[in-house]
Structure 1
Amino acid sequence: MSVSQEVAETTALKALAWLVNNEEVCSVFLGSTGASVEDLRARAAEPDFLGSVLEFITMDDAWVVDFCDSNALAYEVPMMAAATLLGTARMHWT
């Protein structure tokens, strides 16, 4: 199952907004990725960056639930959107 590029990008932009508005999770994202607040603004239109935001959120079930509940999304949508945006760059071999 997958989502369209448009749905993936819209979901990712919502995820970025959720991240920015969640100070605790945003600081974890910035610390773990090395991104800066300026990067959040400057790279908001880049599918790879947006995919990395989604991939980060999917690392924690509580984040997924909070993000999805606050945006009326099914819990599997962030993972599907990340797969669409990242394509083969997201392949896991384990």
Structure 2
Amino acid sequence: MADKASMHQNAEALAIEALGFIAADPELLPRFLAITGIGADSIRRAAREPGFLAGVLQFILAHEPTLMRFCDAAGIPPAAVGQALRHLPLGDTNYESSI
């Protein structure tokens, strides 16, 4: 079984891949920006904030068609997104006690 550090790194990598997926989609990106209140010019700065990457995965998980399109593009099962979310800061209420 992978250690917590590698699970966290894998979760971060998946969230970054999801962010790229969102950014490349002309329909998803404006919706993501509107929901998060982040300006397109502020995404890089926001990405360094705790919880941002969890928010990216929460955005993907909140809309099943988006989830399925992302999973098809990434070649992963939908459950992997929820599992990754739990390994990111603010992705699970027990994150702090689990590290």
Q: Would the TM-score normalized by the shorter structure come out above 0.5?
A: yes
The structure with the larger Rg is 2
Structure 1, unaligned runs of 5 or more: none
Cα distance change of structure 1 residues 45 and 72 upon mapping to structure 2, 3 Å threshold: farther
Structure 2, unaligned runs of 5 or more: 1-5
Identity of paired residues, percent?
Answer: 30
1:44-71: CA deviation from partner (whole Å, max 9, x where unpaired): 3445101101001101111011111101
Structure 1 stretches of 4+ moved >2 Å: 43-47
Higher helix share: 1
Structure 1: distance between partners of 2:20 and 2:50: 15
- Out of 82, 86, 99, the position equivalent to 1:83 is 86
Length, aligned pairs only: 89
- Out of 9, 16, 21, the position equivalent to 2:19 is 16
Across the aligned residues of Structure 1 and Structure 2, the Cα RMSD in angstroms comes to 2.1
Q: CA deviation at 1:36?
A: 1.1
The secondary structure found in structure 2 opposite 1:35 is coil
Pair 1:6-2:13 in alignment: no
Matches within 5 A, 1:1-94: 4-85=7-88, 86-88=91-93
